[in-house]
Chain A
Amino acid sequence: MSSGLFYAILGCALFALGLAATLLLREALRRVLAFNVMGSGGFLVFVGLAQRDGVVDPVPQAMVLTGIVVAVAATALALALLRRLEQTDAHEP
């Protein structure tokens, strides 16, 4: 099995783990972690599948780079909302 395809399948496993966790877990912080795992899985599939013949492909690499940046933006916003909720709850029990 080529290295690319191996990572694509690994990516499927990570995506599945992240998706199941986002759906089933209750705590918001874990769901944010889960979404990140899901995203990382998807990125691995993106590059791994495209490079399954072992040749480097810059297009999916550029797209995944964009995806990582978008993911951190979303994570930051989610954490900010989470933090503000905790602070608001703490001030008005």
Chain B
Amino acid sequence: MLIAWLIVLPLGWATLAWIAGPRRGAALAFGGVLVQTLLALALAREVAAHGPVAHAVGGWGAPLGIDLRADGLSALLIVLTQVVTLPLVLYTHAWLDAQDRDGAILWPLLGLLLAALHALFLSTDLFNLYVTLELLGLAAVALVASGGERAQLAAALRYLLASLVASGCYLLGVAIVYGVHGTVSLAALSAVLPAQPGTPTLLAGALMLIGLMIKTALFPFHAWLPAAHGSAAAPVSALLSALVVKASFYVILRLRLTVYTSWAEQLDWLPALLGGGAIVYGSWQALRAERLKMLIAYSTVAQLGYLFLLFPLLAVGEVALLAGALQILAHALAKAAMFAAAGIALLATGRDSVAGLASLAGALPLTWFAFGLAGMSLMGLPPSGGFLAKWLLIDAAIMREQWLMIVLVVASGLLAAAYVFRILSRAFRDAEHERAVALRRVPRSMEWVAFALAAASVLVGIEAGAIAELLGAGGVR
């Protein structure tokens, strides 16, 4: 029942928010996400205690019907979704007020986005995944465009076209799989697929992988991301970087673990190589960025590269998966905090510049501190979640004697430090000049949200034990 309500509830409050209009939208969103948080935690407890939870929609059961399934990883990601979104709802409400805009479109879209995320994390059906990916993509594009500014419209269109090409490739892959194997259910496929799949199935896998890599903005398919995340409204950027891009990565991981298993080990170096490229390229561009939100967006490109490093390490076992999960969690919270801080800077100074954030050091210390904490997690300083994720990744890399990978992980930490310090150090140098700029009042709640998200990103490290237990008991493989 929990699983069913996780789907029905966000769709329900989104529909109500659409009918009720902008004034009640925020309350519906907050209430809805609050209940979702309770449901998500209950689900996680259930999975940790009794193993994966299955739900046959309509009672038919795959492959005739569609099965939903919550294992350790999906339960964890659903909890993450609520933890990121709940504070952002408060932030968005304050932000809309400060900008004197209404959320008539935004609140329903948020509900649809959340429903898409839940549906995606719980799905075990290739075509169902296609539909959830489409819902996620369209809702995200609509959110980017909702501000109405020219840069946002252009970025949204680019995002949409990239997303549609990606979905088209993915769908062709699904079409071939169905044609060859007669089913789109992951469970049925993992049973039926022989150790050496034939050419058509390999081709289908390649098509699906390409589509998903585009959606995850893996280098070199990342071109759409900086514009989209960099020009969207701050709360939207936070959601996109924290959650939306992780969803398509999750699908890649799920396919790798369930369907394309044994023989795919030979090809694991490919995503890892591209991931390495992402780390280098993304970090370099972040160092050069002049606009604050662009810097943060390029940082996302770099940090997503990390996640792809874990593919060659999957053979090691649970450690790699735990590293990946911690990286997703830490990055999501840190990135959400950073965008929240950037949004506050934009509101206060009226400019989206690196110098703008620096000027806050004196006037809005909480925001500046939040940015620093988030940076700490991104750099991988102990005891943050980011540190633990990188430590585990290096641990697994040592076990597999992947020396190049260790170099990459360490180098990326240093590069992240470089672009984070670039911002923080400006505070000392430019604070003198910037004090003259009049700062707009920013609601306290927004600052507290940024701080809470950043703190959570650091504290994730402390909860690592419970997370490991959830993943283990949940039986991800």
Contact = CB atoms under 8 A, between A and B. Distances in A.
Contact of B157 (A49, A52, A66, A82): A82
B141 interface: yes
Interface residues of A, number: 37
Given A42-B171, A84-B153, A88-B150, A35 B178 contact: no
A9 B131 CA distance: 24
B189 interface: no
Given A31-B161, A73-B138, A74-B138, A85 B179 contact: no
Interface in A22-77: 22-23, 28, 31-32, 35, 38-39, 41-43, 45-46, 49-50, 52, 59-60, 63, 66-67, 70, 73-74, 77
Contacts of B406: none
B168 interface: yes
Interface of A: 8, 15, 18-19, 22-23, 28, 31-32, 35, 38-39, 41-43, 45-46, 49-50, 52, 59-60, 63, 66-67, 70, 73-74, 77-78, 81-82, 84-85, 88-89, 92
Interface string B178-196: 1110100000000000000
Q: Which of A18, A77, A85, A88 has the most CB of B within 10 A?
A: A77
Contacts of A15: 168, 172
B199 to A, nearest CB: 14
Nearest to A80: B145
B281 interface: no
B165 A85 contact: no
Given A39-B171, A42-B172, 20 more contacts: A15-B168, A22-B165, A23-B165, A28-B157, A35-B165, A38-B165, A45-B172, A45-B179, A46-B178, A49-B175, A49-B180, A50-B178, A52-B179, A70-B131, A77-B138, A78-B161, A84-B148, A85-B150, A85-B153, A85-B157
A78 to B, nearest CB: 5
Interface residues of B, number: 29
A50 B179 contact: yes
B153 A88 contact: yes
Interface string B143-178: 001001010011011001100110011011011101
B164 A85 contact: no
A49 B182 CA distance: 10
B284 interface: no
B142 interface: yes
B134 A74 contact: yes
Contact of A38 (B127, B168, B179): B168
A51 B138 CA distance: 31
Contacts of B165: 19, 22-23, 35, 38
A32 B180 CA distance: 30
Contact of A60 (B130, B148, B164, B178): B178
A87 to B, nearest CB: 10
26 contacts: A8-B179, A15-B168, A23-B165, A31-B161, A32-B161, A35-B161, A35-B165, A41-B172, A42-B171, A42-B175, A46-B175, A46-B179, A49-B178, A49-B180, A52-B179, A67-B130, A70-B134, A74-B164, A77-B160, A81-B160, A84-B145, A84-B153, A85-B150, A85-B157, A88-B150, A89-B150
A66 B178 contact: no
Contacts of B182: 50
Q: Which of B153, B154, B175, B179 has the most CB of A within 10 A?
A: B175
B154 to A, nearest CB: 6
A15 to B, nearest CB: 6
A74 B127 CA distance: 17
B164 A35 contact: yes
B175 A66 contact: no
Contacts of A49: 175-176, 178-180
A8 to B, nearest CB: 7
Contact of B175 (A35, A45, A81): A45
B178 A81 contact: no
B142 A77 contact: yes
A14 to B, nearest CB: 11
Contacts of A66: 131
Contacts of B153: 81, 84-85, 88
A46 B182 CA distance: 11
Given A22-B161, A74-B134, A81 B150 contact: no
Contacts of A32: 161
A43 B175 CA distance: 8
A28 B141 CA distance: 16
A89 B157 CA distance: 15
A9 B134 CA distance: 25
